[in-house]
Structure formats: structure tokens, C-alpha cells
A and B are shown apart, each in its own frame.
Chain A
Amino acid sequence: MPENQSGEIQKVDTLLDSTLDSVDTAENQVLRVAEEIGFPEDDLHQIGMAVRETMVNAVVHGNRYNARKKVHLTVSGARNHLTIVIRDEGEGFEREMIPDPLAEENLLKQSGRGLLLIQAFVDEFEIRRRQPKGTEVRMVKYLEPLLKK
């Protein structure tokens, strides 16, 4: 597959069903690329967790398990980093509407920690609404974050 300007080679480009099985599928596909790049065990765990949380958001909150809607996963690898893009076909959401899970009054809420964990586990995180609908999450993990520049 061809390299892009960032020296990335696209390794995965797939449409997944809106089911919880797809969460496992996505995690496995991403981790295969991450292992090829040489990420250590702890990083693999963090990458896997970020992918699982993003996939759960896409399947459960975005596509709402709708069998007609798909989750689009692309994974690109480069010498020192991994880029993962996950897109759903849901209604989208305003990030500002999600309560801060670290605020004292929200600490005992049952849900709302997914985005917090994703951001903690990757080096770059970007979320945007797609037109006409849907949400796209782009995550980058560097093999050695301090050397990423």
C-alpha cells in the first residue's frame, strides 16, 4: 500500500457492523498493526483500551446498534506512530454537553468516563462531527512520545 506524506502506510480500511463483536474485531486489527510497529506491552494495553472505548461509543451511542449503519475503521502505521480513525453514522453530539466526569458532583455517576480514558491513553485525540451526520474520532499513538516532533 502507498505511503502518505506522513510516511504512513494504511494497513486497515474496513466497515464493521454495529455490534459489540465489532469492538473485539477492531481491537484485534489495531493491535496487530501496533505489534508490527513494535509498541511495548503497556502501550498495547492502552491502545486496545482506547480503541474499545471509541468503538463502544460508535456502536452504542453513535449507531445505536442499528444494523443498517456501519462503523468505518482505518488504521495506518508508520515507523514511530500509529493512527486510528473510527467513524460512525450516528446523529453526532456536542462535546460540551458531556458532563465533566472529574467534577465532584459527577464522580459517582455510572457513565461518562469513556472519552476521558481515551484521551489519557493516546498522544493525539481529535473528535469532530461529520457531514451530513456521524462522528469521527482520530487518535495517534507514538512509539516514543517525547521524540514525536
Chain B
Amino acid sequence: MSVKLTTRKVGDVTVIDAAGRITLGEGATSFRDAVRDLAAKGDKKLLLNLSDVSYIDSSGIGEMVSGFTTVTNHGGQLKLLGLSKRVKDLLQITKLYTVFEVFDDEPSAVRSFA
């Protein structure tokens, strides 16, 4: 199974709910396109919910970083929500914990954009 992405609004925050695998190929490409489209549309407060993501590889991590850069360059913010232990480990290993703001619960994440 590749990644399934759905978006919803919570106030002025766009939450991207991701489910499945963000890996080289279709998964990483879908993710890249979704973030770029939202950034181009002018959405500046993006919260990526990874609660239902079972697997991310280095390409998926690369796309998350690329998405972060794209959104930042558009004057917005991309934050992360609901990381599994395995995904947290990946962010630790790659030192990306120092780049991304990470939240365990959605209300706190949404409030952080205010």
C-alpha cells in the first residue's frame, strides 16, 4: 500500500492526514505534489498528521524535508503530528528533530500556529 493523503481544515490550519507508506516511488511523489499544491494555493499553516503512517524510508524523509523548505519559502510553516516510535527514531538518527516542530496531540499542534 502506498500513501493515502486527505486534507481538512481546523480553523485556519490545514491538516494533512497521511496513511500508509511514504517511500521511494508513488508514495513520496504523492506527498511532494500534495504539499506543493497546498503551498502554491497559499496555505501557510500546514500540519502533517503521520499517526497512520507505518513506514517512511530515506526518500520519504527527503520529501518531508523538501516540503518543509517549500512551505517555509512560501512564508508558511509545516509541523508534524502523531509520530510513531519508529518515525521518531528516524528523526533522531537524521537530526531532523532539530528542524521539525513535533506534536503528540492535535489541539496543541493547532494552537501552536496562532
Write the residues of chain A forming the contact surface with B, with a CB cutoff of 8 angstroms.
20, 23, 45, 49, 52-53, 56, 60, 101-102, 107-111, 113-114, 116-117, 120
Contacts and interface: CB of A to CB of B under 8 A. Distances in A.
Contacts of A102: 94-95
Interface of B is mostly: helix
B29 interface: no
B65 A56 contact: no
Report whether over half of chain A's contact residues are helix, strand or loop; otherwise say mixed: helix
Nearest to B66: A110
A60 B28 CA distance: 15
Contacts of A60: 24
A123 to B, nearest CB: 15
Interface size class of B (residues with CB under 8 A): 20 to 34
Query: A-B pairs with the 7 shortest C-beta distances?
Result: A110-B62, A113-B58, A114-B58, A110-B66, A120-B93, A102-B95, A111-B62
B58 A107 contact: no
B39 interface: no
Given A56-B24, A56-B57, A117-B58, A108 B95 contact: no
A116 to B, nearest CB: 7
B46 interface: no
B59 A107 contact: no
Contacts of A45: 86
B65 A110 contact: yes
9 contacts: A56-B24, A56-B57, A56-B58, A56-B59, A60-B24, A107-B65, A113-B62, A113-B94, A114-B58
A109 B69 CA distance: 9
Given A20-B25, A117-B90, A107 B57 contact: no
Interface string B45-65: 000000000000111011101
Contacts of A108: 65, 68-69, 99
B96 interface: yes
Interface in B58-111: 58-59, 61-63, 65-66, 68-69, 86, 90, 93-96, 98-99
A45 B68 CA distance: 26
B58 A53 contact: yes
A113 B68 contact: no
